Structure 1
Amino acid sequence: MTASQEQAPEQHPARPPGRRTVMAAVGAAGLAAALSACGDSDGGDGGSGDVQDGTNGGQASSPGGPTPGSGDTGGTPPAEKPEGDGKVLAKTSDIPEGGGKVFASERVVVTQPKAGEFKAFSATCTHQGCVVKEIAEGTINCPCHGSRFDVSDGSVKGGPAPRPLPSAAIEVSEGSIRLK
């Protein structure tokens, strides 16, 4: 056989992808979107207002038993520490002794570990940026992956969080708690 007698291999026209290929691609895209939503979201509530524990109609959490959290609802990652504007967050009487209250729109949680002692921390979990949702049994709890932080100093008490919650500056005077 000579070079002129050789024939080029038969070429087939391009075919559209088959049903299985399309279904696999759609499934992979859905899985990627679900994992992205779980891992990168901050847990913001998408609106303004206070979030206490996500289940008790806006009442502050108190010690005595865990209350299921409402879960992560997505949002834009917040700054590591909340920034204040002197806004009154709450009355001191709104923060239960041994418990606290989450202010989602300000990205801050205020606790009262002992009578008359008020502490504030970032409400952004140090694990993957979700907003904490409840304070129960002496811990500030993140609903996303189970991290728990001590109400008195923000230290990690359990879960995957690698660092304590950063403290936030508040001012307590005349029965009011203000974010600095």
Structure 2
Amino acid sequence: MSSESLQSAQPAPAVCRRTILAALGSAGAAAALTACGGSGDSSSGSSGASESSSSAGSGGGEALAKTSEIPEGGGKVFADQKVVVTQPTAGEFKAFSTTCPHQKQQVNAVDNGLITCPAHGSQFSVTDGGVKKGPATSGLTEEKVMVDGDSIMLM
């Protein structure tokens, strides 16, 4: 979807963006947009960059998602960034590492207010990352996020 938005921009920069994005992956998206976009691309660069999973924001963080993409009482796992973002109550966003403290496997699901590790079934709270069901004996590590407009930024 993000590459379609970029295609609607000026033809030469769109080709450059796609090539660089494919070569660098999501980690280099912000650099690619800056390198190829130029100052004349500001009208479409903002909307294209905000749809990217890793556009840089004014706070120096990484845009993970729109606030509307994170369900209240639930969350979403961002496997590439190794972070899970939750919205325990309306307008409150939290983030935790996806690394389960039990055997360092990656959590992969958020459902019914619980973050779940598929390896041995450990479950963690979307509110504070605390253990709700073992075998894990400690919770998920909290990560820093902030809301910038309607974007959730990983700090």
Q: TM bucket by the smaller chain? A: 0.5 to 0.7
Q: Report what 1:144 is aligned to.
A: 119
Q: CA deviation at 1:117?
A: 0.5
1:54-69 maps to which residues of 2 (within 5 A)? none
Consecutive unaligned residues in structure 1, runs of 5 or more: 1-47, 50-84
Q: Over alpha carbons, which structure has the higher Rg?
A: 1
- Determine which of 153, 157, 170 is the counterpart of 2:132: 157
Q: Distance in 2 between matches of 1:106 and 1:130?
A: 14
The CA deviation string for residues 9-41 of structure 1, in whole angstroms up to 9 with x for no partner, is xxxxxxxxxxxxxxxxxxxxxxxxxxxxxxxxx
What is residue 120 of structure 1 aligned with on the other side?
A: 95
Q: With a CA cutoff of 8 Å and minimum separation of 6, indicate the structure with the bigger relative contact order.
A: 1
TM-score, structure 1 normalization: 0.53
Cα deviation, 1:53-95, whole Å, max 9, x if unaligned, reads xxxxxxxxxxxxxxxxxxxxxxxxxxxxxxxx61100000000
| Match runs of 1:4-23 below 5 Å | none
Q: Which runs of structure 2 are paired with 1:1-180 in the superposition (5 Å)?
A: 86-180=61-155
Gaps of 5+ in 2: 1-24, 27-59
Where in structure 1 do 4 or more consecutive aligned residues deviate above 2 Å?
A: none
Q: Using the alignment, how far apart are the partners of 1:139 and 1:126 within structure 2?
A: 16
Q: 1:166 deviation in Å? A: 0.8
1-structure distance, mates of 2:106, 2:150: 26
How far, CA to CA, are the matches of 1:167 and 1:102 in structure 2? 14
Identity %: 57
Which secondary structure does the structure 1 equivalent of 2:94 belong to? strand
Tell me how far apart the structure 1 counterparts of residues 134 and 115 of structure 2 sit (CA, whole Å).
12
Q: Which amino acid in the other structure matches residue 96 of structure 1?
A: P
